[in-house]
A and B are shown apart, each in its own frame.
Chain A
Amino acid sequence: MSANGVGDYRPWHGERRAPLAACGAIMRTSLRQLFRRKVYWIVLAIGLGQYLVYASVIYGLTQMQMPERSKNMLLQSFNFSPNADDPQETGYLQFVEAQSLVVMILLALCGSQMIGSDFRDGVLPFYLSRRIERRHYVLGKILAIIVVVWLLTVVPAFALFIEFGLFTTSLDYWWENWKIVPALLGYGLVLGGVTAVWLAAISAYLQRLAPIAVTWASLFLLTGRLALALRDATGDRRWLLLDPWRDLRLAGRLFYGVFPTADDRQLPLQAAALLAVVTAIAFAALMRRVRAVEVVS
C-alpha cells in the first residue's frame, strides 16, 4: 500500500490541539485512575472528617448564642481564627496544616497509582509515543497531584471561608478578610507544587507503594520530629529547616505575612530557598527518569 493509501485510511478530520492540551488529558486520566480506587475515597473521607469539625465550629461561632468567654475558648481549642488580621492565628491555614497527615497518606497512594504504575507496568511509552514531550507528561502528572492536594486542603478551606461569610448577615466578612483568598491560593500553590514535584520524582524512582510510603513518612514525619528535637537540644532554630512540612508552611505563609511563632518569623525566606533548591533537584531527577524506552538488562 502506498504512503498515500495509508494516509487516506480513516482520514482525520478534526483539528489537532497543541501538545500542551495533552497535559489536561493526562491529568484527567491520572485522576480517574485514582478515583476508581475505593481506598482513595476512604482516605478522603477521613480527611474530610476534619473539615466537618471545622464547619461545625464555624456554625457554632456564628449561629449559637454563647458568652464571649466560651466563644474564645472554642476558638482557642481549635486553634482557629476566622479573621485575616489576627496576628496569632490564621484559621484557614491552620486547617490546611492540620490536614497534613491525611495529605501525606493520600500522596503515598497517589505516587504509586498515578506515577509508579506507569513505570512499573510499562505505560510510559504509550504516553510518550504521542505528539507530546516529556515535559507535557510531567506537567500533566504534577497537575493531577496538585488537584489531589487541593481537594483535601485548599478547596475545603475555601468552603469554610465561604461558609463563614454565608452565616453572617452581610458581605462584610468577605470584604474585610479578602487577604485570605490570595493567601490560601498562594499557600496552595506552594504546598501543591512542591509536594507534587517531590512525590513525582520519588515515585518515578521507587514505583512501589511500600518504599514510597516509607520514604514519604520518613521525610514528612520523622525529619520533623528530629528537627524539633535538635532545635530543643542545641537551641539553634535553623534545625527546623530540616522539616519539609514546616518549610512548606513557612514558604506558604509568605503570601499571608502572618507567622504565629518566633521561630516561624525567622525562617520563611530560608525555608523558601531550601524548598526551591530541593524542588529543582527533584524536578531534574524526574525529567531524567521519564523516558519513552525502558532499557532492560
Chain B
Amino acid sequence: MSTTNTEIALTFDGVTRFYGPVIGLGDVTLRFGPGVTGLLGTNGAGKSTLLKLASGRLRPTQGCVRIGDFDATSLAAKRLLGYCPEINKFYEEMTGREFVRTMTRLYGYSWSETRQRTEAALDRVGMLDRADRALGGYSHGMRQRIKLAQAVAHEPRVLLLDEPLTGIDPAGRREVNQLIRDLADEGRTVVVSSHLLVELEQSADHLVMLQRGRVQAEGTLAELRRRLDDQPLTIRIESPQARRLAAICVAGPEVAQVDVRGDAVTIRTTDAPQFFVALNELIAAHSQETEPLVVERMETLDAGAEAVFDYLQRGAT
C-alpha cells in the first residue's frame, strides 16, 4: 500500500490462520492505510477470514493483526473499528432506528450522544425517513444500509465492509459507493470485500486480490491492468463475411487462435496493439473491392477490470 507508516491503520504481519487442517489465510502481510482498499477473491479465497481476523473475531494461528497500535482482539482496537458483516441477520423485531441506536449505545455513549450519532448515521446512509419500520419488513437494500449505519455511527478509524453492495440496486450502489468514497475522503481506512471487481472499480484506490488464502496481487487498478498488456486478448468481431475475415486474419503472426460461429469471429491475439493496427490496414485494403470487408461490431471480451481478476485467478490455479 502506498502509505507511510504513521498512516497505517490496519496491519497484517505474517498472518496465517488454519481451520483444523484447512488453511484459511496463509502468511499474509498487508498494510492498510487511509482510502478505500478493495478485497477481491472468489468464494473461499480468504476474504471473510481476513475480515474476521481484522475485526478480532478470530485469532491468527501465526503472526499478528493490529489496528493502530492495538492487537485486533483488544477492546481498544474495537473502539477504532466499524464492521459491516456479510450476514443478513438482525434483531428482526426492532426498527432500524432502534437497532442502530442499540448498537451505538454499546460503545458507551450517553443517551443524547447515542441519539445524535444514530440520526447522523441514518442520515448518512439515506435511511432517516424509513428507520421507524421493523427490520423484518425491510428490503435487502435497506437492510444493507442499516448494517452500514451501525458500522459508521461511532465514526471509526477503520471500517470493514463485507460485501456491502450485495442486493442493492444500481442507483443504490452508486449511493453506497459514494458513501464509501466520502468516508475514505475523511481520512478513514475502508476495506471493502467483494467477489466482483466491477463493484469496486469506482470507489477503490487499492486492490488486494486473494486466492486460496494467499495474496495474489495488490496495487491500484491501473497497476494491475498493466499486467494485462503482455497477456493474450480475445476480440469478437461481427461481420457478414465472418469466414472470409477469419481466413485473412489467421495469417497474421499476432493471431493465436480464430473461431467462427455464424456471423461472428472470435480472435485470440498475443499482441493486441499490433493486431488492431493490422486489422485497420486490412479493412482499408479491402475497401475498394466489389465486396468490401464490413465490420458491424467489435468488442474485446476480456479487457475489462474483470479480466485482470480472471487472469490473476488463472495464474493462481
Residues of A within 8 A of B (CB): 296-297
With A and B bound together, what is the CA distance between A297 and B134 in angstroms? 8
**4 A–B pairs (Cβ distance < 8 Å), ordered by A:** A296-B136, A296-B137, A297-B134, A297-B137
Give chain B interface residues in 224-258, CB to chain A under 8 Å.
none
With A and B bound together, what is the CA distance between A208 and B137 in angstroms? 19
Residues of B within 8 A of A (CB): 134, 136-137
With A and B bound together, what is the CA distance between A296 and B134 in angstroms? 10
With A and B bound together, what is the CA distance between A30 and B36 in angstroms? 43
A-side contacts of B136, CB under 8 Å: 296
With A and B bound together, what is the CA distance between A296 and B136 in angstroms? 7
B130 CB to nearest A CB, Å: 15
B94 CB to nearest A CB, Å: 14
Question: What is the interface of chain A mostly: helix, strand, loop, or mixed?
Answer: loop
A-side contacts of B134, CB under 8 Å: 297
B-side contacts of A297, CB under 8 Å: 134, 137
What are the 4 A-B residue pairs with the smallest beta carbon separation, nearest first?
A296-B137, A296-B136, A297-B137, A297-B134
B-side contacts of A296, CB under 8 Å: 136-137
A116 CB to nearest B CB, Å: 15
Closest to A294 in B: B136
B228 CB to nearest A CB, Å: 33
With A and B bound together, what is the CA distance between A66 and B281 in angstroms? 105
With A and B bound together, what is the CA distance between A297 and B138 in angstroms? 10
With A and B bound together, what is the CA distance between A296 and B143 in angstroms? 15
Closest to A296 in B: B137
A-side contacts of B137, CB under 8 Å: 296-297
A111 CB to nearest B CB, Å: 20
Closest to B134 in A: A297
Closest to B89 in A: A121
A295 CB to nearest B CB, Å: 10
Closest to A297 in B: B137
A246 CB to nearest B CB, Å: 39
With A and B bound together, what is the CA distance between A296 and B92 in angstroms? 12
With A and B bound together, what is the CA distance between A199 and B137 in angstroms? 28
Closest to B136 in A: A296
With A and B bound together, what is the CA distance between A50 and B308 in angstroms? 61
With A and B bound together, what is the CA distance between A172 and B134 in angstroms? 68
With A and B bound together, what is the CA distance between A297 and B137 in angstroms? 7
Closest to A120 in B: B92
B8 CB to nearest A CB, Å: 41
With A and B bound together, what is the CA distance between A297 and B136 in angstroms? 8
With A and B bound together, what is the CA distance between A46 and B217 in angstroms? 51
A237 CB to nearest B CB, Å: 46
B69 CB to nearest A CB, Å: 41
With A and B bound together, what is the CA distance between A296 and B138 in angstroms? 9
B252 CB to nearest A CB, Å: 36
A284 CB to nearest B CB, Å: 27
With A and B bound together, what is the CA distance between A29 and B173 in angstroms? 36
A36 CB to nearest B CB, Å: 17
B18 CB to nearest A CB, Å: 20
B95 CB to nearest A CB, Å: 13
